[in-house]
Amino acid sequence: MTDRPLTLMAVHAHPDDEATGTGGVLARYAAEGIRTVLVTCTDGGCGDGPGGVKPGDPGHDPAAVASMRRRELEASCEVLDVSDLETLDYADSGMIGWPSNEAPGSFWQTPVEKGAARLAELMRHYRPDVVVTYDENGFYGHPDHIQAHRITMAALEMTELTPKVYWTTMPHSMLRRFGEAMREFHEDMPQSEPERQPEPEPDPAEAAAMTEIGLPDDEVTTWVDTTAFSGQKFDALAAHASQGDNIFFLKMGKERFGDLMGTETFVRVQDATGAALPEKDLFAGLR
């Protein structure tokens, strides 16, 4: 027996990712007395600036954006009752294909072993029982998400720890529900007839990329009910107010959000407990 608390470590790429993918489990397990550690790898400097100014546009100051997003991240962690926030503060690499991908010092340009060594130090310090990050594709192909996956898996190899390890995912049934919700939302948006535009033809490349997102329902190993904490998750997302234009779920309101976001889903990729699958608890077999 040990006095060390059960510990969840979530490794994310940017400020606001913690709320989108794991806000429910962070809030739920904090409420259950589990220590929750959030590691955010980048400074978020490629996010929107004040007034929605975009990266590369006049008036966009990555350093100022990063400072603003750090304050928002701290506010989100307070909402979610995150026990410990650790920031690696690599420069945000931006979306795939952006010039910022190639910038010296960006997370994408950081050698995996260098980032992994820093994360391994945190793992040795906190000794997490459960680690959560992205899959090999970073869920949807974002360079910083892919890099977060790479350094997490490399850091685990550098340590002698054997936590349960999970990758965030989304079952295809949930993706369909989100697609329906997005269509309903856009149909409900008031538009005058002269402004109404025909639906654009689907982009084949985008459609192909979407087929790589998520998994068939029967390949999802872990379904965690976070319904009771969906309000906290919504408020944590709302704390990232500067990025509101990019966070579709905030536009649907808290009630609809709760209907759609009441379950968080994962794939278990490392386990020493022998807990039966599918699971309903990231800590199954540990308590």
Reported as a single tens digit per residue, the pLDDT across 160-194 is 898 999 999 999 998 888 888 777 766 554 444 44
CB 225 within 8 A of CB 280: yes
Most trustworthy range by pLDDT among 12-16, 43-47, 58-62, 170-174: 12-16
pLDDT averaged over every residue in the chain = 88
Torsion angle in degrees (nearest 10) through CA of 246, 251, 256, 259: 10
Given pLDDT bands bounded at 50, 70 and 90, which one contains residue 1?
very low
Between these two residues, 74 and 259, which has the higher pLDDT value?
A: 74
Q: What are the structure tokens assigned to 86, written together?
A: 């650790």
Query: What pLDDT does residue 150 have?
Result: 98
Q: What are the structure tokens assigned to 14, written together?
A: 């940017």
pTM of the model: 0.89
- What is the C-alpha separation between 280 and 226, in angstroms, rounded? 10
Q: What are the structure tokens assigned to 194, written together?
A: 């002269």
Between these two residues, 114 and 205, which has the higher pLDDT value?
A: 114
Between these two residues, 253 and 201, which has the higher pLDDT value?
A: 253
pLDDT of residue 73 exceeding 80, the answer is: yes
Given pLDDT bands bounded at 50, 70 and 90, which one contains residue 88?
very high
Q: What are the structure tokens assigned to 69, written together?
A: 């997003």
Query: What pLDDT does residue 211 have?
Result: 54
Q: Dihedral of CA 44/261/249/255: which sign?
A: negative
Between these two residues, 117 and 174, which has the higher pLDDT value?
A: 117
Under DSSP, the state recorded for 203 is P
